[in-house]
Structure 1
Amino acid sequence: MQRREFIHAAATAGVVSPLLTGRGTGAEPDKGPALLRFDTANEVVRGDMRYRKLGNTGVEVSCIGVGGHHIGRPADEAEGIKIIRTALDAGMNFLDNCWDYHDGLSELRMGKALQDGYRKKAFLMTKIDGRTKAAAAKQIDQCLLRLRTDVIDLVQHHEMIRMEDADRVFGEGGAQEAVEAARKAGKIRFVGFTGHKDPLAHLRTLEVAKENGFRFDAVQMPLNVLDAHFRSFARDVLPGLVKEQIGVLGMKSMGDGLVLQSKAATAVECLNYALTLPTSVVITGMETMDRLKQALDVVKSFKPLTEDQVAALLGRTKEAAAKGRYERFKTTPDFDGTAKHPEWMG
């Protein structure tokens, strides 16, 4: 099935807005419908932090979240803990993590940071790589131990980047069986999935979930100023999630610095753009206190970009977006941890 045919089929099935049929080749000019925008009427401001609904879960999460991979980067553990606690004290309640980040170091640091009463301030998310029931169950229990908690607010199937990943997860003896068992046992509250490779993999995962009578609470994907032009999650996946009231977790707003290397946009523009989209949370890396302050400053002064501002920004980034050279998480295996370590999947 060709990309156009798949997106059309997904639209017909209600997985993605029919308006987007035929989009996403990365080679076509930007001639489709305007990007969706966040309705600030659905946003609550408390102090200097803004909170948005996580889909239809009934939970309010900070519009910006702490990226878990970056928390494992500082050489000084105390620095990572300080960043997390400062973010939570500032009202940034959404914490991102993953079972495999820095061989578990990110989760261990976050677990320490959540002691002394900080757990109650956090909406805690982590991800698992296991595709089998046994591997997923083992990883969930390891995450709980590292994070020093009895319950994880959101667990996501990580790196759904292959067309067959969803079939493995939802197949007999697949990871979803372990996730459902953990949720029934009270270890997990909500369930989502992530991926960074191609919108088609996201659409396929949503399709397989629907075939199995399951609805995700949240979906995580790259949303940045280059994505709109190349294999666009914003154009091909986002409308369907909004329609189904599934929480949208934006990541790679700066592409781990790659977007900034393009010189097409500043860090502040990148964050403002992602926040202007109908995201529940924009997860961003903050391995230093300066990065955390930058994110907090953006939230404090945030005003959604106007349609003209978005058009001007996308016009400026179109050339840099060509062929995905600054979105290498889409076009190379450099960011594919499960490809480098297939044993993680079980």
Structure 2
Amino acid sequence: MNYRAFGRTGVQVSDLCLGCMNFGDDCSEADSIALMHRAIDDGINFFDTADVYSRGISETIVGKALAGEKRDKVFLATKVYNRMGDGPNDLGSHRYHIIKGCEDSLRRLNTDHIDLYQIHRPQSSIPIDETLRALDDLVRSGKVRYIGTSTFAAYQVVESLWASKELHLNRFVCEQPPYNLLDRRIERELLPMCRTYGIATIPWAPLAGGLLSGKYRAGAPRPDGARYASKAAPFARDNEAALQTVEKYVAWCDSRGYEPSQVALAWVLLQPGVTSPIIGPKNAAQYEAYLAARDLTLTADDHAALDALFPPGTHVSEYYRADFGPTARWM
């Protein structure tokens, strides 16, 4: 396993991060624990989960998998922000929800500290100093080691760095954005900003939820049980147009003897400024395929061909849409 510096922190993390979103939902507890133990044996030391994944079930399973000595072998990340109850304060990036969310996550994870605590989405209606002061208290108390963001705009991260400096608070050390061949928008501002300020980048959806795996084909029925089996499923909007480009992509991969899913992951792994792409296996076969992508070498001609299909800094299809204004809604 290769290891990379986690931004400017000095922490070394594996070049793949094991995403735990499917654990407890599309992957049974026993299979999830087996996958985590296999990942540790293979040298993956970076796990990412969130309180909202299966409403806490993922964190509970992760806690069981890391019981005992295995806990110290993993740089453990989780997130807070999304709704975890029916009350008016059971979501958001304000102190009340952050502190309660951290205590709940610590209990589910069966640990005395969280290595990386991330704000799952931006909330422009909450002043960033309100969020940072709560997170700073958690760091100073020893319950959290580092803090980060997920799916923030570049200007929001920079605003937070300014606030941290002005108020002498712990700063965000990483950002977790959506990034894949179909959606390269973060190359315009976010990735350059992260490189400038020494912020680690841990992209999610490197396969665009499976769109780049080749299992969805233009004009063909969508596979039963797959993420995009229904056109009404989250993130499925406007992807029919993307499938036309995916057809060309799959044909190109076939001509090179490449597996489409492995190319998609290897490409993200090789992009400047990327620390650890997040993989989200549902089973051992998917995990093996993700691991094999690390050994794939893409040539300069390969990169040029991919840039022709998926132009840099643009998007063939928006994988993720966000409204960063006062009435923010995420889809």
TM range (shorter): 0.7 to 0.9
Kindly, what percent of the aligned residue pairs are identical? Answer: 28
Report if aligned partners of 1:63, 1:275 keep a CA contact under 8 Å in 2. Answer: yes
Change (3 A) 1:60 1:75: closer
How large is the RMSD of aligned CA atoms in angstroms?
2.3
Q: How far apart, CA to CA, are the structure 2 residues paired with 1:50 and 1:86?
A: 16
Equivalent residues in 2 for 1:97-136 (5 A)?
97-129=49-81, 130-136=92-98
Specify the SS of the correspondent of 2:201.
Answer: strand
Specify the SS of the correspondent of 2:67.
Answer: coil
Q: How far apart, CA to CA, are the structure 2 residues paired with 1:206 and 1:116?
A: 36
Q: How far apart, CA to CA, are the structure 1 residues paired with 2:315 and 2:175?
A: 25
Report if aligned partners of 1:96, 1:124 keep a CA contact under 8 Å in 2. Answer: yes
Matched, 1:175 2:128: no
Matched, 1:274 2:232: no
Matched with 2:12 is 60
Aligned length: 269
TM-score, normalised with respect to structure 1: 0.72
Report if aligned partners of 2:117, 2:148 keep a CA contact under 8 Å in 1. Answer: yes
Structure with the larger helix share: 1
Matched with 1:203 is 154
Q: How far apart, CA to CA, are the structure 1 residues paired with 2:308 and 2:55?
A: 40
Structure 1 regions of 5+ residues with no counterpart? 1-48, 196-200, 341-346
Q: 1:171-221: CA deviations, max 9, x gaps?
A: 4xx2322211110000111111001xxxxx512312321331353211111
Q: Which has the higher contact order (CA 8 A, sep 6+)?
A: 1
Q: How far apart, CA to CA, are the structure 1 residues paired with 2:180 and 2:16?
A: 14
Superposition misfits of 4+ residues, deviation over 4 angstroms = 337-340
Report if aligned partners of 1:134, 1:175 keep a CA contact under 8 Å in 2. Answer: no
Matched, 1:156 2:118: yes
What is the one-letter code of the residue matched to 1:104?
A: G
Matched with 2:253 is none
Q: How far apart, CA to CA, are the structure 1 residues paired with 2:8 and 2:150?
A: 18
Matched with 1:298 is 293
Q: How far apart, CA to CA, are the structure 2 residues paired with 1:220 and 1:187?
A: 21
Change (3 A) 1:339 1:271: closer
Matched with 1:36 is none
Specify the SS of the correspondent of 1:193.
Answer: strand
Matched, 1:257 2:257: no
Structure 2 regions of 5+ residues with no counterpart? 82-91, 166-170, 217-242, 251-259
Matched with 1:186 is 142
Specify the SS of the correspondent of 2:287.
Answer: helix
Q: How far apart, CA to CA, are the structure 2 residues paired with 1:272 and 1:241?
A: 20
Q: How far apart, CA to CA, are the structure 2 residues paired with 1:135 and 1:68?
A: 22
Matched with 2:164 is 213
CA shift, 1:75, in A, is: 4.9
